[in-house]
Structure 1
């Protein structure tokens, strides 16, 4: 723009060419949009995280994923994913080379015929009975139980709640 003397004056505009809106008005709209997107994402993550631990409508637990390892006479199960399991409602069935143990572990327990005293994790009666993802539980099978849990044999573990199978795993017994 030229002034009366013939010099060019510089003027600064806060408006974008042809927009009719000042550039400063765009910032609050952007902040509001970012907050809205962040809130929606946080709600989605919270729903996924906390919704994953609910029981199905009929009250029975969903299937869980477990891993099994066996070393000498000790069988260890790790809850990898799924709903928490109250071990007071849990039935554990163990088979060795397709033959069921004569005595099955009465979880939770501390001392039981056919098993070494002091199971670990939620299988121990003194522990929190809720078995959650990431936790391990183990039992030691006594020599008085049959068939014997010895290196090279295959151990198969089945978990049931209310007679319904919720998990299954197997492992080959390793020497200790």
Structure 2
């Protein structure tokens, strides 16, 4: 129940922050990051982000930073990509450079962290994903790695 409550609180915060920013700046502009409701899951080496509502996200225009138990991964995912140091080839959804690079409502984007990347994803460890656009926060998501 706690992870669900956490996702809902994060979603509410992201939506409210986007609404306040849009109102303060007189509506949407290139400097206002997308406002979206996202959730995060992690199983063994797989990290997945589900788009549950709000604006579409141009994956090529955002930066994703992944931390495990507060320590950033040595290699961060360069979005979009197919093969990159520290990750297994073939991420799914808009994270894959061969597909559409827009994450929309109802879609999931995922990647798998290789054992060569440190720290490793192991069951019970806390994963944090920070998503920014033009240096501005879009979302900060957290979850605990579940066994696969």
| TM category, shorter | 0.7 to 0.9
Question: What's the TM-score once normalised by structure 1's chain length?
Answer: 0.67
Q: Is this contact kept in 1: 2:34–2:56, CA < 8 A? A: no
SS of the residue 1:150 aligns to = coil
**How many angstroms apart in 2 are the aligned matches of 1:100 and 1:62?**
24
**How many angstroms apart in 2 are the aligned matches of 1:63 and 1:99?**
26
Q: How many aligned residue pairs are there?
A: 122
Question: Which gives a bigger RCO, structure 1 or 2 (Cα 8 Å, sep 6+)?
Answer: 2
Q: Which of these two proteins has the greater Rg computed from alpha carbons?
A: 1
In structure 2, the residue matched to 1:65 is 37
Runs of at least 4 residues of structure 1 off by over 3 A?
Answer: none
SS of the residue 2:50 aligns to = strand
In structure 2, the residue matched to 1:47 is none
Shift of 1:169: 1.1
Question: What's the TM-score once normalised by structure 2's chain length?
Answer: 0.79
Q: Is this contact kept in 2: 1:110–1:119, CA < 8 A? A: yes
In structure 2, the residue matched to 1:108 is 80
What is the RMSD computed on CA atoms of the aligned residues? 1.2
Q: Is this contact kept in 1: 2:66–2:73, CA < 8 A? A: yes
In structure 1, the residue matched to 2:107 is 135
